[in-house]
Amino acid sequence: TTAENSQEIILADSLGIDEDWIWLKSGEFLIGNIEDLYDEKLAFDSDDLGDLKIQWTDISRINSRQLFTVRTTDGSIITGTITLENGVLTISNNRHHNIPQDKLMTLIAGLETGTNIWQGKVTFGANLSSGNTNKLEYNTNAELSRHTTTSRIKTSYTAIIGETNNVQTDENHRVLMTYDVY
């Protein structure tokens, strides 16, 4: 009921919960950060549980204080803070927009502009072993993604180069790219 939901929000506030929280239909309560929603799966980052993908239909309640940009099945794009109760997603900015839970197509954290829609990561590594033969393998991995409410692009590059006794024995380069349109 609405009174129970208000008490739950007051409880979360009194506990000092500044992060996003979600309640699953199973009764589980999770605290962390909502990242995005694509393919009816909510990406949620919990300090204790790590990165989770939660089926959108398994979520009964959401409360968040951060801004989100939301796209509905009719093509509307709205930015604001979000709450979910009784199957209705409320997006609050200078007014309240109520959207049935099943009419939400995509959701991204923050505004749909500038550097907020880009994410990247680069890692380097090396393995060295010596004995009868000296082996060196070094590798790199670069990932870049762009998330909007209408599309998602993910690219990654991996390189592995190996040497044995100062002679290059392996060289492997791989580029992967996906482009999803919603």
Report the alpha-carbon distance of residue 31 to residue 44 in Å, rounded.
9
Q: Which of 108, 115, 45 is nearest to 82 (CA)?
A: 108
With a pLDDT cut of 70, the percent of the chain lying above it is 91
Pairing of strands 118-129, 59-63: unpaired
Residue 69, pLDDT > 60, answer yes
Helix (H, G, I), strand (E, B) or coil at 135: strand
Token couple for 129: 């072993």
Residue 144, pLDDT > 80, answer yes
- Write down the pTM of the prediction: 0.67
Report the alpha-carbon distance of residue 28 to residue 19 in Å, rounded.
16
Q: Flag the least confident range among 12-16, 58-62, 123-127, 167-171.
A: 12-16
Report the alpha-carbon distance of residue 55 to residue 40 in Å, rounded.
6
- Per-residue burial over 30-64, b if 16 or more Cβ lie within 10 Å, else e, is bbbebbbbbeeebbbeeeeeeeeebebeebbbbbb
